[in-house]
Amino acid sequence: MLSESEEPAMYFDATPLNVTTMLVVALGIVALVLLLRGRYDSNVPLLFYGVTVGLISATDRSLNTYLLYSGLAFALVLRFEFMGKSFTRFIGFLNTFSIGLIAVAFLDQVFGDGKSLF
Interval 47-90: pLDDT, tens:
999 999 999 999 988 899 999 999 999 999 988 877 888 889 99
Q: What is the pTM of this model?
A: 0.86
Domain that holds residue 61: 15-111
For the segment 85-106, the average pLDDT, to the nearest whole number, is 93
Give the Cα separation of 64 and 104 in Å (integer): 12
- Does 114 score more than 90 pLDDT? no
Residue 39 resides in a domain: yes
- Does 115 score more than 80 pLDDT? no
Give the Cα separation of 18 and 106 in Å (integer): 9
- Which residue intervals of the chain are DSSP H helices? 16-36, 44-58, 65-80, 85-111
Question: Above pLDDT 70, what percent of the chain?
Answer: 87
Residue 116 resides in a domain: no
- Does 6 score more than 80 pLDDT? no
Contact 78, 92 (CB under 8 A): yes
Residue 79 resides in a domain: yes
Q: In terms of pLDDT, which residue wins out, 13 or 23?
A: 23
Q: How many domains does the chain have?
A: 1
104 to each of 84, 97, 108, 109, 116, how far by Cα in Å?
30, 11, 6, 9, 11
Phi/psi of residue 57, nearest 5 degrees: -75, -35
- Does 24 score more than 60 pLDDT? yes
